[in-house]
Structure 1
Amino acid sequence: MPKSLSFHKLEERRVITILVAKTRQQELFYLTGKHARAELKEIRLREKFFCPSCKAPLLLKIGEINIPHFAHQTRSDCDHFSEPESSLHLQGKLLLYQFFQRLDLKVELESYIPQIRQRADLLVNGQFAIEFQCSTIPVPLLKQRSEGYRKLNIRAIWIKGLKAPCREEIGMLHLKTHEVEMRRSTEQVSFLLLFYPPSNRFYYHSNLFYVSTNRWVGKTKSIGTNKQVFPFAVPKALTKEEFNVVLGIFRNARQQYIRSQLYFDNRIKSLYCRLCYELRLDMTNLPAWFGIPILGAECLKQPAVLWQLQAVAGWEKGISVDMLIASGKLVLSNPARATQATVLVSDYLALYLISKDHSSKDFKLLDIAYDNYCKSLRKLRK
């Protein structure tokens, strides 16, 4: 397929597969696991099915491996916003549908909303659109879908589909741009909600600290559908011991970054080396308070050690945080995040001044950094 083929052209060439169809009597027919395959084959002989959205004829496919589903008889651009279905996606939607039913909630499978021409994977109580996303989705499209629901006072909840279970630990996570956009923010923590259909289990990536590009440090924990609630359970804040693990991972990431800078052919071109020279710091052995984890640091593109060195260098020269950000020396991930960056850098400088007056031993740094983490959470609750 030519690289120049547009996103919209790709959309037009898809075959949409769905779990809900209309019969000739204009009644909705759901493939929710209620009918056995043999029963479905008999129904297929005497009934015709049509797409609830575009009214086109549908095929009822009943294989031995894949979940029974409907598909348009011809390639279609029906429901512009739907993704191509996979077996994982179909299975996940069915299990989520059954989960909501067990909670005695009003749930509609693949509910088409004509006002915005969108089909929600599941619509719960008419107020929550559940989007179970198994494939990559362009961020503008993700935002467009969420905005469409918002206009109708429907809350969009994005759930990432998993092809394999996650390790439950505090560790380094590799998140794609659209996955970061799928995060939910609550009064406690922000988190990414995931679902693994083969084990009927929800996973959480929570307490996410930005490292660089697609790398984050976070806590991964799971819960079975038999213990899950709705609205979905919210992860807890990190304990001091857990935060110390995050601190250790950041320390290792900092050392990796420093080694990469020391191997520069021309250290004059290395911003890290220049900042260490300006601040009269040993570039091979920085004080512990440089490169520490702070919530919300994704508003800056640079690694923690670099933007924190720049913040201190600006403070030493008497440059205000606003001026430092306006100068472009601190690279924003989005110009609209300037205010967030100002608060972030100001909070770090306050932490830096406290740290400077104490011993640089790890236990002191842990106390100060964890206290800052807790303060950040309290700000989110306001």
Structure 2
Amino acid sequence: MIYILVAKTKQQELFYLTGKYARKELLEIRSREQFFCPSCQAPLLLKIGEINIPHFAHKSLSDCDHFSEPESPLHLHGKLLLYHFFQQLDHHVELEKHLSAIRQRADLLVDGRYAIEFQCSTIPATQLNQRSEGYRLLGVHPIWIKGLKQPCREEIGIVHLKSFEIAMRQESGPISFILLFHPPGDRFYYHSNLFYISPNRWAGKTKSIQSTRQVFPFAIPKRLTKEEFRSVMGIFQNVKRRYIRSQLYAENRIKNSFCRLCYELRIDVGNVPDFFGIPMLGAECMKSPAVVWQLQTVAAWEKGISMEVLAASGRVPLTNPGVTGQAASLMTEYLTLYLSFANRDSTDSKVLDSAYDIYCKNLRKLRK
């Protein structure tokens, strides 16, 4: 079933189900009024049940482009709460705004400049990016908010993300983040300070804010404290240890890239120094685990190979050819950290200080 919160009357006026009318009033309105889809003009039913929020639905199966995705009660509830959130902050907000120029419907259009998409179901990342690009063609800034059935655990930890959730990341400040909303608790959540581990696993910080304390444009998360970054370092060290254990049982160590790199660098495979496997912002351009691409960086430097040449060579697997420059910069930054410890003792605290310093410098660069 396709649920809708905005319909047109026979007089071509928009009728909104935003909680303004009591159920008794809606029953009376339904008895005397006819409703139509704002996009395809097909007749709509006004449904007023005891469980779901009052909503419109097509009378029959429709090929309406703009309402092609089923909307859950969670989606309806969230859209209404977000609608009232923007109203209370005195922003001009339009619910289920149909933009005919790009044949798209925004869940909410705020001040004519921001398209708010409240996404409760899984969609292909390509579709999400296409919709975002459509808004940008109109000079409208897309903001994606992930819908939550359950509240998140607030902590520094591993965040499991699907590809469409990663595509929701916002870059409106030095710290990128994913914004989420939990309608039952009327609360916003943030996944921020995200460090790439693997395609669906990131280390980061999850924090929430009650909607009554939220602002718009939305609040930007703060950078990690050194103690919080220490927790991220701990996550990466645990991930590295598990990865190394898996490689120790490789059938052919000569062909195993990790074992071969350790041999080239004269490193005991069971005792890799702490300054390998460091969390660094932007490492999602690399396909390999942090410990592997960082070993490759040092091995290339010892052979006199520049990071630009290494990144372009294909020897370090990248997510796509367009991130070659990003990968070269990342490896150069890591090499700076490595050289500060080369040929001298390193302690956990010194490695933490250096890695945290690089993290802070990266944020300062992004702020400029």
Q: TM (normalized to structure 2)?
A: 0.98
Q: Which structure 2 residues correspond to residues 132-281 of structure 1 after superposition, within 5 A? A: 132-281=118-267
In 2, distance between residues paired with 1:118 and 1:332?
A: 34
Match of 1:293 among 279, 286, 290: 279
Unpaired runs of 5+ residues, structure 1, are: 1-14
Q: 1:356 corresponds to which residue?
A: 342
Q: How many residues of Structure 1 are paired with residues of Structure 2 in the alignment?
A: 368
Q: 1:319 corresponds to which residue?
A: 305
Amino acid at match of 2:296: Q
Secondary structure of residue in 1 paired with 2:339: helix
Q: Is the 8 A contact 2:169 2:178 kept in 1?
A: yes
Task: Give per-residue Cα distances to partners, 1:165-193, cap 9 Å, x unaligned.
Answer: 00000000100111111000133200000
Match of 1:110 among 85, 92, 96: 96
Amino acid at match of 1:275: L
Q: Is the 8 A contact 2:112 2:140 kept in 1?
A: yes
Q: Is the 8 A contact 1:188 1:236 kept in 2?
A: no
In 2, distance between residues paired with 1:155 and 1:170?
A: 30
Unpaired runs of 5+ residues, structure 2, are: none
In 2, distance between residues paired with 1:297 and 1:81?
A: 37
Is 2:328 aligned against 1:328? no
Secondary structure of residue in 1 paired with 2:61: coil
In 1, distance between residues paired with 2:201 and 2:241?
A: 15
In 1, distance between residues paired with 2:123 and 2:26?
A: 33
Task: Give per-residue Cα distances to partners, 1:207-234, cap 9 Å, x unaligned.
Answer: 0000012000000000011000000000
Is 2:25 aligned against 1:39? yes
**Segment drifting more, 213-222 vs 267-276:** 267-276
Is 2:115 aligned against 1:129? yes
Deviation at 1:338, TM superposition (A): 1.0
Percentage of matched positions with identical amino acids: 68
Deviation at 1:357, TM superposition (A): 5.2
Secondary structure of residue in 1 paired with 2:8: strand
**Segment drifting more, 291-300 vs 65-74:** 65-74
Q: Is the 8 A contact 1:82 1:119 kept in 2?
A: no
Distance 1:358 1:47, change over 3 A: farther
**Segment drifting more, 23-32 vs 228-237:** 23-32
RMSD: 1.1
